[in-house]
Amino acid sequence: MRFMMLMIPLGYETAPPDVKLDPERMRAMMKYNESLKDAGILITLDGLHPPSMGARVSFAAGKPVVTDGPFTESKEVLGGYWMIDVKSREEAIAWASKCPASENEIIEIRQVHEMSDFPEEIQQAAAGFTELQGNAARR
């Protein structure tokens, strides 16, 4: 089963665009990343620039509306994520619990949809999507 571990650093919602990272913390995180890889469960991982460099698009009735970051009403924003392949939610929780995260950080664990989760009718409508993803991933 694939799970996303969503890193939510409280306070990142107001971080400036040129946020500075602490080399000590990076070293600790890289060690943790390495342990995920050594266990053969790491699929991919990424870090995200602060929301002050991002944008939102909302689709109310009619035209899409674009808002530039930072987003004042946000209380929690993503700082990055890991995608892992484990046997159960419990195993995902156990791995997240080992992360050298700080007191201001939360890791949210969410299962990723597989095509086989969808009813037959939906699978047919989405036929070719997995193939598309495969093509996309090879780029």
Subset of 62-101 contacting another protein (CB under 8 A): 64, 66, 71, 73-78, 80, 85, 89, 92-93, 96-97, 99, 101
Return the biggest CA–CA distance within the chain: 51
> Between 7 and 46, how does the x/- string for binding to another protein read (CB under 8 A)?
-------------xxxx--xx--x--xx--x--x-xxxxx
Total binding residues toward another protein, as defined by CB under 8 A: 75
Report the run of H or E that residue 36 belongs to, with start and end.
Answer: helix 23-38
Q: What does the DSSP 8-state code read for residue 62?
A: S
Closest approach of another protein to the CB of residue 9, in Å = 11
Closest approach of another protein to the CB of residue 63, in Å = 8
- Within a 10 A sphere around the Cβ of 61, how many other Cβ atoms? 4
Report the run of H or E that residue 97 belongs to, with start and end.
Answer: helix 89-97
For residue 77, which of 26, 7, 2 has the smallest C-alpha distance?
A: 7
Q: Which of 15, 55, 88, 116 binds another protein (CB under 8 A)?
A: 55
Closest approach of another protein to the CB of residue 83, in Å = 8
